[in-house]
Structure 1
Amino acid sequence: MSQHPNRARLLISCQDKPGIVSAVSTFLHQYDANIVQSDQFSTDPEGGMFFMRIEFDLGNSSPDFLRFKKEFHTLADKLDFEWKMELAARKKRMAILVSKEDHCLLELLWRWRSGELQVDIPLIISNHPTNKQVVESYGIPFYHVPVTRDTKEEAEQEVINLLKQHDVDFIVLARYMQILSPTFVESFPYRIINIHHSFLPAFIGANPYAKAFERGVKLIGATAHYVTDDLDEGPIIEQDVLRVNHRYSTQELRVAGRNVERIALARAVEWHTNDQVIVYGNKTVVF
């Protein structure tokens, strides 16, 4: 829980033009809100896009949060903003989808239990029963939804139904080894975060680390991104690399890759949770 129950976060994207910062600051001051952090980025001051993230505390005489958002809506319409406003104290509801590998799952669960990741986890879904015991040891409901070539459509609809029944805010694919259909992706636009190795488009297919070993790679990487209909090509949130050398075996490369994957994914999830990411086209602005 946030130590500042009246703290809110505001994300804005719009065409760049004079007066945006002044208009937003004036509005916040008018309603007795105090800015505690402000970040801006412009792609091009001459007709480009403008992005802003502000954290502010509502004052004693500020209206309640829902009314405050309603009042801001008028300004946003006038200045043609795309925007989102959230209370920092509200924990987002995060679902995790996982297959057999558990390194990313365990990293998220550890951070959640230690309080580093401020989310609620109402459920974890897997197409294999492998991680059932470890998930339930954390007191989190585990749902096994097996997937075969013949039952893929029905299984995916069952997963969608579970996610909607539990009112999730976003979904993390913690090495969930299934390709999501356009129907699934459209149900949660820019609310699905995936992780994969950063060899792509090189070393595609099965056992990329064996192929990387044969090629003698010197860097192992991972990419966390939002899921779109273009496989593994959605807006990138975070990437990381680890230097390796000729002494690494295929198994050691795989271990190094898993370590980079879990850290990159955890960062991306944290930034999404803290409302630090704005999607623009197929890119992101991360404040």
Structure 2
Amino acid sequence: MNNSVVPSWVLTLVCADRVGIVAAVSQFLAERGGFITDSQQYADREAGRFFMRVAFEATDARMSDTQELQAAFAATGAEFDMDWRISGAQEKPRMLLAVSKGSHCLADLLHRWQTGTLAVDIMGVVSNHPDMRRITEWHGIPYHELPANGDKAGQEAAILDVFGRTRSDYLILARYMQVLSEDLVGRLEGRCVNIHHSFLPGFKGARPYHRAHERGVKLIGATAHFVTADLDEGPIIEQAVERVDHRATAEDMIRIGRDIEAQVLARAVGWIADRRVLLNGSKTVVFR
């Protein structure tokens, strides 16, 4: 086979931890001519849960169709009561971005997408303000201005409508300065990611850099996490910090923090796109 066109897939699974899972997956692939190119697994002994990500490719014509693979693996999945997924390695998740007035995270994601370094399909941008229309449409991406105008329920229904019509897989809050309702969060459970301008759980909520400055912190950071009904307490995907000192003003921290936010969100989105993030209750397992 020509390596440039070799069919390849990613299998992810979560199940109760027990003996024989890795052997069963390996045997399944071997019987069909599957060549494992990358395999990572983690056993959470405290929770009794097992997590696995396997990238594999076909070595001959026995393995060529994703649906056939999924149908064939169903028996193994049922035997171990797995929550599993097999998807084509080149399959890109569809993402809807949400933004308010801050451009740094949105611009970074759009640039990475346009240059081919972020393997996602951006289906559109929704916003409660008009400010980011120009940069979005310059990249050829549809822009949906959906101001709340005192009708939060109607606005969120419009967001869900765009999400559904574009068949998006994830809603990425790229500095979207609105608190989502429990209803919307529930509908997008495990599919909505936020970037918080703080190294959570410290300085949650609004104006964290000003609060950090008041406390004289020496490290500032950013956190990408799944959104839950508990504000800024969802499962953490990625974090980063930068050292500051007594000379840093709140404005200095904001400037530094914006760079961190863009990098952290991009890493989180990239790992999700590569099927490297698995939910583990209030935490995540990230295979890197």
- Whichever residue aligns with residue 278 of structure 1, its letter is L
Matched, 1:25 2:31: no
Q: Cα 1:12–1:131, aligned 2, differ >3 Å: closer, same or farther? A: same
The residue number in structure 2 matching 1:251 is 251
C-alpha offsets along residues 138-166 of structure 1, whole Å, 9 cap, x if unaligned? 01110100013x21111110111011011
CA positional deviation for 1:206: 3.9
- What is the rounded CA distance, in whole Å, between the counterparts of 2:202 and 2:235 in structure 1? 19
- What is the rounded CA distance, in whole Å, between the counterparts of 2:83 and 2:71 in structure 1? 14
The answer as to whether partners of 1:14 and 1:50 remain within 8 angstroms in 2 is: yes
The DSSP-based 3-state class of the residue aligned with 1:25 is helix
Q: TM-score, normalised by structure 2?
A: 0.94
- What is the rounded CA distance, in whole Å, between the counterparts of 2:4 and 2:92 in structure 1? 13
Q: TM-score, normalised by structure 1?
A: 0.94
The residue number in structure 2 matching 1:69 is 70
The residue number in structure 1 matching 2:17 is 16
- Whichever residue aligns with residue 176 of structure 2, its letter is Y
Q: Could you list the structure 1 runs, at least 4 aligned residues long, displaced by more than 3 angstroms after superposition.
A: 2-5, 199-206
- What is the rounded CA distance, in whole Å, between the counterparts of 1:37 and 1:205 in structure 2? 39
Q: Cα 1:188–1:43, aligned 2, differ >3 Å: closer, same or farther? A: same
CA RMSD of superposed structures (Å): 1.7
The residue number in structure 1 matching 2:188 is 188
Matched, 1:234 2:221: no
The DSSP-based 3-state class of the residue aligned with 2:123 is coil
CA positional deviation for 1:63: 5.0
The residue number in structure 1 matching 2:213 is 213
Quote the sequence identity (%). 44
- Whichever residue aligns with residue 256 of structure 2, its letter is A
- Whichever residue aligns with residue 105 of structure 2, its letter is C
The residue number in structure 1 matching 2:83 is 82
C-alpha offsets along residues 89-114 of structure 1, whole Å, 9 cap, x if unaligned? 11111110000011110110111111
Matched, 1:167 2:170: no
- What is the rounded CA distance, in whole Å, between the counterparts of 1:225 and 1:278 in structure 2? 12
- Whichever residue aligns with residue 146 of structure 1, its letter is P
CA positional deviation for 1:200: 4.7
Q: Cα 1:47–1:158, aligned 2, differ >3 Å: closer, same or farther? A: closer
The answer as to whether partners of 1:127 and 1:144 remain within 8 angstroms in 2 is: yes
The residue number in structure 2 matching 1:177 is 177
Structure 1: segments with no counterpart, 5+ residues = none
Residue pairs, 1:38-53, within 5 angstroms: 38-44=39-45, 48-53=48-53
- What is the rounded CA distance, in whole Å, between the counterparts of 1:47 and 1:175 in structure 2? 33
CA positional deviation for 1:47: 8.0
- What is the rounded CA distance, in whole Å, between the counterparts of 2:211 and 2:18 in structure 1? 50
The DSSP-based 3-state class of the residue aligned with 2:148 is coil
- Whichever residue aligns with residue 187 of structure 1, its letter is R
C-alpha offsets along residues 183-242 of structure 1, whole Å, 9 cap, x if unaligned? 212222211110102255544554322222221110011110011111111110001000
Aligned residues: 284
- What is the rounded CA distance, in whole Å, between the counterparts of 1:138 and 1:267 in structure 2? 21
- Whichever residue aligns with residue 87 of structure 2, its letter is E
- Whichever residue aligns with residue 103 of structure 1, its letter is H
- What is the rounded CA distance, in whole Å, between the counterparts of 1:13 and 1:211 in structure 2? 39
The residue number in structure 2 matching 1:120 is 121
The DSSP-based 3-state class of the residue aligned with 1:121 is strand
The DSSP-based 3-state class of the residue aligned with 1:123 is strand
The residue number in structure 2 matching 1:272 is 272
- What is the rounded CA distance, in whole Å, between the counterparts of 2:129 and 2:95 in structure 1? 20
The DSSP-based 3-state class of the residue aligned with 1:225 is strand
The answer as to whether partners of 1:5 and 1:88 remain within 8 angstroms in 2 is: no
